[in-house]
Each structure stands twice: as structure tokens, then as C-alpha cells.
Amino acid sequence: MTQQLLSWLDERLDLSALQHFVSEKSVPVHRHSVWYYMGGITLFLVGVQVFTGILLLLYYRPSAGEAYESVKFIVSQVEFGWLIRNVHSWSANLLIFMAFVHLFSTLFLRSYRKPRELTWVTGVLLLFVMMGFGFSGYLLPWNELAFFATKVGTGIAGAVPGIGHFLLRFLRGGDDVTGATLTRFYGIHVAVLPATMTAILGLHLLFIQRQGMSVPPSVERREKAGEKIPQIPFVPHYVLHDVMWWYVALAVLAALALFLPWELGKKADAFAAVPPGIRPEWYFLAMFQVLKLLPAHIVGLEGEMLGVLGFSLAALVLLVLPFLDRGAGEGRSSPLVTVAGVAALVYMVVFTIYGYLAA
């Protein structure tokens, strides 16, 4: 049956080139091969987000008067609504976690080196888009914590030199977080970011397929020395491995959704006192904590503004890292990148924990 369908399609579309690509494509096997699957898991979670997001759209109402009630309706009245909402919330967090794992594994294995600079750039852009998804999606249930965290978050955006005020008003749809902010975040979450992500993700996957899997420099050196590095066929071996990891991720998601349901909290009330423990999502917490610790003024400049500038610079450095570490492409070791990567990782872990304990 499958064979008949393929023949039918081949007659019309000439699939021989694709068949050739698939049959010839192979993936190297070495002691770091496990990190290859991190990107695949991230991609799977993106799929979960799209699927559950579309289902949530069927009931969600993006207005200050109805958003909270509609989410409440989803989790309490809609058949399996609780599962879909919990999976969407948990998957969003696992997705960003896996994206970070993918990023750091790529960084430490120097997979960004020539000729894969653009794959790295698109990957970092995807991470930024995913964080944008997280930031905009956090507000959508219109609950108290999200409301005040968005107030703080957009306030930080207001500290960007020069364009801060414009950025703040652009994000909030006014001077304060209101129903206009919710509508705006909704539009960004379900239209602007998905379109952007589709384009960048398409390029990212295209680059990977075009260039194949990168091998770590140590493996590359062995290969250059004449050693034959084992390979497995992409189809079916690698694909089956990928699918197996996806199933594991699915099991983790299902267990989290059932045993640690995502709380809805209280409905946002602009006139209520700011509740204690206001903090952003965990992936912004390390940055948030640093901004909190900075003094009001540093050498005559606003501390928060300097902090935002510092993080913007760090993001830029991350984005163009392959062009800064040209030596990696030429086979030279770059210990500075390893040290910076470890420092960034330690900073993120320590300050995220500190942020939770301090809140």
C-alpha cells in the first residue's frame, strides 16, 4: 500500500532526488552523539505547543474581562481541557529548558564553527523568539502574578536607552498594563511570533539538512587523521532514536501535567495591592535578580539602564559568537569560549536559585 502510494507520487513529483537524499543521509556516531537529540526534543515540544495552542484557541477569549474566566472554563468544564492547558504550560517551560540545553551543548561542542555559523545564528534567534513566546503567553491567563510580573517586565523594557519609553508603550499599548496589553500580547503570541518562528525554524532545519551533523573538533581531528568515524543511516536508525526520545518527553509531560497541575491563581486586579513573591518566569529570573541587585546609579548612570544594556550586549555577543570565535573553524582551541560558557551556565543556575529563594 505504502509502496503503491510512493509510486503514485513518484510518477507525478519525481521523488528520486528526495529518496536518494534520505537513503544516503547518515549521522556520525561518537561519545557525544546523545547531544544531537536535544534539538529533536526541542522541535517535538514546539510541535506540542502548536497543537495544544490551537486547541486552547478554540475556547480562549483575549480580553481583560473574559481571559481569566475562559481559562478557568477550559480547565474545569472543557473535556480534557485541564490536560491541554497543563501540557501547554509545562511544555512551554520544558521547551525553553531544552532549547538552553541544545544551545549549551552546541556551544561546548563548537558546532557553530564554520561552515555552520548561520545555523547557530538562526538557533539563537529561535531561542529569543521562544522567550518572547514565554513572556507574552505568561500574561494571557490574566492572573494576578502574571499581571504584576508583566508590569515589572515591561517596566524593565522601558529602561532601554533611547527607545525605552517607546518600547514600554508599544508593549503595553499605553502607559500601564491594561486590557490593551493583553490584546497586544495575544496578537504577538498567536500571530507575530508563530510566523517569525516558522520562518526562522524553516531556515534552521534547512541549514542542518543541507550541512549534515557537525562532529566535535576532537572527532574531526581523528577523522582528518584517517580514522573512519562510524555512521548510522538517518532513516530509519536516527529517526527511530529521535522518536524514542520524543516518547520519553511525552511521558514526562503527561506526568507533570497530572501530578503538578499549573495553577491558575487569582484573577488580575489592577487596583489590588502587589502580592508578595512577584517574579518573572524562571528563564528571566537570573536577569531579573541582577537588575534588582544593581544600585540605583552607577557612575552617574541609571543602574537598571546599565543592566539592560549589559544583557543586550551579552545577547548580541551570543548571536554573533561564531564570527568572534573564528579560530574554532580553523581547528584552533578557544578556551575563552569554554570559560565564558561555563561562567554563563553557573551564573544562570546560581542566580535562578537565588531568585527563587529571595522572592
Partner 1 sequence: MRPVIVRTVLFQALALAVFAVSAEAQQPAAATGCQTCHASQQSATLATPARDFAVTDVHRERGFSCVDCHGGDPAASDKAAAKAPSTGFRGKPTGALIIAVCSRCHSDAALMRKYAPKQRVDQAAEYATSVHGQQLAKGDTKVATCVSCHGAHGVRPVGDAQSPVYPLNVAATCTKCHADPERMKGYQRAGAPLPTDQREKYEKSVHHKAMVDRNDLSAPTCNDCHGNHGAAPPGVDAIANVCGTCHTVFATKFALSTHSLIFDRGCVECHNNHDIAQPSDAMLGTGKEALCGTCHSEGDNGFKAAAAMRSGIDTLKASIRLSQEQIDGVENAGMDMADQALTLREAGNHLTRARTEMHAFDPKLVDAVVSEGMGLTAKVDAAAAAARNEVSYRRTGLAISLAFIVLVVVALQLKIRSLERSTSGSRL
Q: Which residues bind partner 1 (CB under 8 A)?
A: 29, 72, 75-76, 82-83, 86, 228, 230-233, 236-237, 240-241, 243-244, 247-248, 250-251, 254-255, 258-259, 261, 264
Residue 167 grid coordinates: 518600547
Residue (232 or 290) nearer to partner 1, CB: 232
| CA separation for the pair 165, 244 (Å, rounded) | 48
Q: How far is the CB of 162 from partner 1 (least distance, A)?
A: 46
Q: How far is the CB of 257 from partner 1 (least distance, A)?
A: 8
Q: How far is the CB of 247 from partner 1 (least distance, A)?
A: 5
Residue (174 or 236) nearer to partner 1, CB: 236
Residue (68 or 147) nearer to partner 1, CB: 68
Q: How far is CA 273 from CA 82, 120, 148, 180, in A?
A: 29, 44, 10, 21
Q: How many residues does the chain have?
A: 359
User: Using CB atoms within 10 A of its CB, is residue 58 exposed (0-12), middle (13-18) or buried (19+)?
Assistant: exposed
Residue (238 or 288) nearer to partner 1, CB: 238
Residue (252 or 340) nearer to partner 1, CB: 252
Residue (230 or 275) nearer to partner 1, CB: 230
Residue (197 or 257) nearer to partner 1, CB: 257
Comparing CA positions, the residue from 35, 31, 32, 78 lying closest to residue 57 is 78
| CA separation for the pair 136, 60 (Å, rounded) | 15
Omega into 236 within 30° of 0, i.e. cis?
A: yes
Comparing CA positions, the residue from 181, 139, 179, 172 lying closest to residue 265 is 139
Q: How far is CA 245 from CA 212, 242, 252, 270, in A?
A: 20, 5, 11, 43
| CA separation for the pair 220, 61 (Å, rounded) | 53
Which stretches within the chain are classed as H helix? 2-13, 16-24, 36-57, 67-76, 81-108, 117-139, 144-157, 164-172, 179-187, 193-211, 217-224, 239-259, 282-293, 303-319, 321-324, 335-358
Q: How far is the CB of 23 from partner 1 (least distance, A)?
A: 13
Q: How far is the CB of 40 from partner 1 (least distance, A)?
A: 13
| CA separation for the pair 158, 166 (Å, rounded) | 8
Residue (15 or 232) nearer to partner 1, CB: 232
Residue (195 or 235) nearer to partner 1, CB: 235
Q: How far is the CB of 222 from partner 1 (least distance, A)?
A: 15
Q: How far is the CB of 214 from partner 1 (least distance, A)?
A: 19
Residues linked to residue 308 through DSSP beta bridges, in sequence order: none
Q: How far is the CB of 308 from partner 1 (least distance, A)?
A: 38
Look at phi and psi of residue 110 and say left if phi exceeds 0, alpha if psi is from -120 to 50, else beta.
left
Q: How far is the CB of 29 from partner 1 (least distance, A)?
A: 7
